[in-house]
Structure 1
Amino acid sequence: MTGRELILATKPFAKEIRSKSWLYLLSTLVLLIVATAGTLLVPHPALKLISSVFMALLMLRMFVIYHDHQHHSILYMSVIADVIMSIFGVLILAPTSIWKRSHDYHHNHNSKLFSASIGSYPIATKDKFRSMTRGEQRTYLFVRHPLTILFGYFTMFIYGMCIMSFTSAPKKHWDSLVALLVHGAIIWALQHYIGWQAVIFTVFIPHFISSAIGAYLFYAQHNFPGTSFSCKEDWKYEVAALESSSHMLMNPFMRFMTANIGYHHIHHLNSRIPFYRLPEVYHAIPALQNAKTTSLKPMEIAACFKLKVWNPELNKMTGIEQ
């Protein structure tokens, strides 16, 4: 199948099963509430930590469900779902106005060289990087640095999604300010009424872990050995989806916690496919089983982080000196 034939082949799967959408949304919310309660109510610090880690992973799953809703692939035109997702977007520090605008741009410009880095990590060619000033080079490498991704709670969400979006367009992204104020109010209330332990286990650890994993997934799904980038004139949507988006191999537990976002090449091919139907599409269309892969294994994570610039001579991502 050609790229466009593959898009057409996925269309029958781009229909949600409404009952499943509600089941997965509500069950995830219930599990998230239980884990949150565990961080506050269980007495032993070790149990609080376990609850905190599960809270982080469930926040990650809920974020992918929220992301699907923003693509209109699930619960479209549901007022109740809109309210739930808007509240979650504020609580997760990725309010709907900035998330949808930046993520839609990402889908429409994925793997384009010389486009704005809105909604994605910046990509420069080797020659472009060498022509940058020292300050521009440091900024470029800082944004893509492993520590910047590890501290995504502060760099991507608090600063990028909230502070930067609000200061750049206050009227358009007023909900980013709301997210910051609500986040601060939650921290103040937990510290004032319960104590700093509640802030650490209920806010800091869950947000830190979920943001770090989310930031890395977003990075590695398009910055992996074998990915490709094109000039605007040569760019094609379906080619970008299949050649520049990875199939991230995961165990069943992580597939559940990431709501199947590892099937990223299929998601980019047709973003209207609900997350719970992505494995179905993968098994139904053999051509989609040959995607470029990466995983969460330490060696593969390290390989992804080594990639810094696009080398058009080698037609691949490389380190700066290659």
Structure 2
Amino acid sequence: MLEGKELILATKPYAREHRTLSWLYALSTLFLLIATLTGTLMLPYLVLKVMASILSGLLIVRMFVIYHDHQHHTILHNSSLANAIMILFGIYVLAPSSIWKRSHDYHHKHNSKLFSASIGSYPILTRNRFESATPSERRRYLFSRHPLTIIAGYLSMFMIGMCIQSFLSSPRKHADALFALLIHIGGSVAVCYFWGWQSWLLFIVIPFTIACGLGAYLFYAQHNFPDVVFSVNKDWCYDKAALLSSSYLVMSPVMQWFTANIGYHHIHHLNARIPFYRLPEVMQAFPELQQARTTSLSFRDMRACFRLKVWDPEQNRMISLKEIRVIRTALLRRKSDPAIIAG
């Protein structure tokens, strides 16, 4: 069984794109997205428009994963046409490349590290750090990980996090964030003016709510699941962070297609240069990768992921707010009970 650097090196032959396939998947997805978005405005019946709107949201997710691969220089690297397409798509989806690449590269280099900046990932506090935090710090922390905050990724993660906060933190560096936001708002006003509020809902609100909400949850569940492992920085190891701290998100073939295999996240973190369409091939080739820590899009698994709040080093696992209260009560009893103190 391969492990560590040997396993990473063994995946290198798969870290090569098939250029024709990359173009085929990118252009076909882009074409389908444009067609369904057009359908939200032009189709004759409301039910068909709603279907087109929902499909648009799912296709944005697929196109975003293709954009994500391009930003990793995994596919269509050094292509002027691809660069232009992806720059425009990044602006369209409220994740300009200057922001996305910086934050996502940081995430790959620091995934599952305790006590590192939460750039490009959801913040993680240890139980002791959470208990010592001020009430306002706890509220902010829990708000950032709340299910409604994640589901409302359109507003919280993309519009505010990616664009507004990035621009305010560095206006010169992230001028494209302001541009993306202005284009998005201007497009919304134009659609409302020419086609009405219903078309605005179908063309923009529903697709972006689906795409950003699903995207935010996928990113959350890929690194916040019941068996996840977090490490203090000195014990952190790249391959273990990939295999122990990144999930294999089991999906139906349909959802695998719409999410462009991003569920094979443990493999992606092991070697980010493997194109999305080769990830299942790598999974089949290496038994070591078939023992992945899994979650899914089932209600039960989503609920289990959402319950996780802080890392408990003593138990070496993520725990819920209920478990925090139980531990807190037990510690208070231990301090106040003379018999326990004497013992």
Give 1:190's aligned residue. Answer: 191
Cα displacement (A) at 1:45:
1.4
In structure 1, the partner of 2:272 is: 271
Give the percent of matched residue pairs that are identical in Structure 1 and Structure 2: 60
Q: Does the residue aligned with 1:261 lie in a helix, a strand or coil?
A: coil
Structure 2 contact 124–311 (Cα < 8 Å) conserved: yes
**By how many angstroms is 1:55 displaced?**
0.3
Distance (Å, rounded) in 2 between the aligned partners of 1:321 and 1:314:
15
Q: Which residue number corresponds to residue 68 of structure 1? A: 69
AA paired with 2:178? L
Q: What SS class does the counterpart of residue 11 from structure 2 fall into?
A: helix
Aligned equivalent of 1:300: 301
Tell me how far apart the structure 2 counterparts of residues 16 and 69 of structure 1 sit (CA, whole Å): 11
2:233 corresponds to? 232
1:15-26 → structure 2 map (5 Å cutoff): 15-26=16-27
Aligned length: 322
Rg larger in 1 or in 2? 2
CA shift, 1:47, in A, is 1.1
Q: Distance in 1 between matches of 2:78 and 2:313?
A: 44
* Residues 1:138 and 2:143 are matched in the alignment: no
On the 8 A contact 2:307/2:321 being kept in 1, the answer is no
Q: Which amino acid aligns with 1:135?
A: S
SS at match of 2:321: coil
* One-letter identity of the residue aligned with 2:110: H
Q: What is the match of residue 213 of structure 1?
A: 214
Partner of 2:40: 39
Give the TM-score, by structure 1 length: 0.99
- The 1:108–1:268 alpha-carbon spacing in structure 2 relative to 1, beyond 3 Å, is same
Match of 2:158 in 1: 157
Residue ranges of structure 1 left out of the alignment (5+ in a row): none
Is 1:5–2:1 an aligned residue pair?
A: no
Moved over 3 A (4+): none
Distance 2:186 2:82 in 1: 24
Q: Deviations over 1:224-276 (max 9, x none)?
A: 01000000000001110000000000000000000000000000000000000
Say which SS state the counterpart of residue 168 (structure 2) adopts: helix
Distance, in Å, in 2 between the alignment partners of 1:22 and 1:38 is 24
Instruction: Give the CA deviation at 1:72.
Output: 0.3
Please tell me whether the aligned partners of residues 13 and 273 of structure 1 are also in contact (alpha carbons under 8 angstroms).
yes
Partner of 1:94: 95
Alignment partners' CA distance in 1, 2:239 and 2:115: 19
Matched residue, 1:254: 255
Residue type of the alignment partner of 2:208: H
2:82 corresponds to: 81
Q: CA deviation at 1:320?
A: 2.9
Query: Given residue 13 of structure 2, which amino acid in structure 1 is its aligned partner?
Result: P
The answer to whether the 8 A contact 2:40-2:53 is kept is yes
TM, length-normalised to structure 2: 0.93
2:115 alignment partner in structure 1: 114
> By how many angstroms is 1:82 displaced?
0.4
For the 8 Å contact 1:126–1:320, the answer to whether it is kept is no
Counterpart secondary structure, 1:66: helix
**CA displacement at 1:188 relative to structure 2:** 1.1
What amino acid sits opposite 1:123 in the alignment? I
Cα separation, 2, equivalents of 1:230 and 1:321: 23
Matched residue type, 1:108: K
- C-alpha separation in 2, matches of 1:3 and 1:129: 33
Give the corresponding residue for 1:200.
Answer: 201
Looking at structure 1, the residues matched to 40 and 141 of structure 2 have their Cα atoms a distance apart, in angstroms, of: 37
Provide the rounded CA distance (Å) in 2 between the counterparts of 1:22 and 1:37. Answer: 22
CA deviation digits over 1:272-300, x for unaligned, max 9? 00000000100011110000000000000
Q: CA deviation at 1:12?
A: 0.4
**Shift of the alpha carbon at 1:321?**
4.1
The answer to whether the 8 Å contact 1:49/1:201 transfers is yes
Q: 2:106 corresponds to which letter in structure 1? A: Y
Aligned equivalents of 1:229, 1:156: Cα separation in 2:
23
Q: Distance in 2 between matches of 1:194 and 1:219?
A: 35
Residue ranges of structure 2 left out of the alignment (5+ in a row)? 324-343
Answer whether contact 2:164 2:178 (CA < 8 A) is retained.
yes
Which SS does the other structure have where 2:128 is aligned? helix
Instruction: State the Cα deviation string for residues 67-105 of structure 1 (Å, max 9, x = none).
Output: 000000000010100000000000000000010000000
The letter of the residue matching 1:263 is: Y
2:223–2:246 Cα contact (<8 Å) kept: yes
Q: Matched residues in 2 for 1:3 and 1:265: separation? A: 13
Contact 1:307 1:319 in 2 (8 A): yes
CA–CA distance in structure 2, aligned partners of residues 24 and 321 of structure 1: 45
Question: 2:235 and 2:290 mapped to 1: Cα distance?
Answer: 25
